[in-house]
Amino acid sequence: MNKYQDWPTQQDDMQLASDIIERHTLFNDGEPLGFLNVVMNGKKHIDFKVSDWVIDVVDHFIHRYGAVRGHEIAQKVLTRYLLKNQTIH
């Protein structure tokens, strides 16, 4: 089975995500991009917010492929970026 049969747009999708991430990095003056942001709501309440670059990647693929397939593609792209093709044990 060809590795691209279940994801034929993989190369294009990875490049598009790379472009989005690069744009956010440039906007952030080259500083590293975090995955989550900690947000203080009041003195004793902490929330976690997914970073804007992650939201933009997901939104892009939802717009491009629709809600279900867009989420699938976004998960695959983010997994490849975050895990560098390594398995979590």
Q: Is the pTM here over 0.85, yes or no?
A: no
64 occurs within a structural domain: yes
30 occurs within a structural domain: yes
28 occurs within a structural domain: yes
pLDDT in tens, 6-36: 899 999 999 999 999 999 999 888 788 888 8
Cα 42 versus chain centre, distance: 29
5 occurs within a structural domain: no
Q: How many domains does the chain have?
A: 1
d(CA 26, CA 1): 39
Q: Residue 40 is part of which domain span? A: 10-83
88 occurs within a structural domain: no
d(CA 80, CA 68): 19
Q: Using alpha carbons, list the distances in angstroms from residue 46 to 36, 51, 63, 67.
A: 12, 15, 31, 29
pLDDT in tens, 62-76: 999 999 999 999 999
18 occurs within a structural domain: yes
pLDDT value at residue 38: 83
Contact 46, 58 (CB under 8 A): no
